[in-house]
Amino acid sequence: MANAVDFSRNFLALAEQKGVLRFGEFKTKAGRLSPYFFNTALFDDGASFGDLCGYYAQAIRASGIAFDMLFGPAYKGIPLAAGTAMQLAAQGTNVPFCFNRKEAKDHGEGGTVVGAPLKGRVVVIDDVITAGTSVRESVEIIRTQGAELAAVVIALDRMERGTGEKSAAQEVRDAYGVPVIAVANLDDLMGFLTGDNRLKSYLPAIQAYRDTYGVK
């Protein structure tokens, strides 16, 4: 198994190659001008999405956390949870997974949760954390079923302050007392740029952005 540096760097290389990770000037939802853009929805073919889920699986295993199953919040978390469960199984760790639907179903099996029963220690799989709404909804579903949150796993931690002094990932970590595991974070991104002659010219802008909006 690749070490943490390897899979984070490989993940970022794939993201840049696929156009998931781009550099320039982009306006964020918060109205900030960011020197980079990241959108996991652009992992839009079987090969790259399979690789993405493989990196999620490696990040989970490298973290050493104890867990019993995966949960994917609707909608982006649904394919991520399924794909990561498949990749974990391929890497020797076979665990069940489930996801929620936005509206409760009143026929057939009914309810809002689809897949394996929610029980034990649950890892939530999502693309990013912005306002933390998806995590709050997931925790409510998990606790209602008598299970417990073990960790939240995301693709990229921007390590950027929200409205306060903490990042969205730090707020989730502190609110629920569980780790937020990222396949890569801003430190990894800057290391990746440093090692790539094509891209290192973007480093000063990202460093300046981090100086302004980064968490302490």
Comparing CA positions, the residue from 87, 120, 82, 121 lying closest to residue 99 is 82
pTM (two decimals):
0.92
**128-134 LR contacts (CB < 8 Å, sep 24+):** 128/38, 128/40, 128/154, 128/155, 128/156, 128/158, 129/154, 129/157, 129/168, 129/169, 129/172, 129/180, 130/29, 130/168, 131/162, 131/168, 132/168, 132/171, 132/172, 132/175, 134/73, 134/77
Split the chain (216 residues) into runs of 10 and give each run's mean pLDDT. 72 97 92 94 97 97 97 95 98 97 59 91 92 86 96 96 90 95 96 95 97 92
Question: For position 110, what pLDDT does the model report?
Answer: 46
Domains of the chain: 4-213 (3.40.50.2020)
Quote the pLDDT of residue 3: 54
Residue numbers annotated as active site:
105, 107
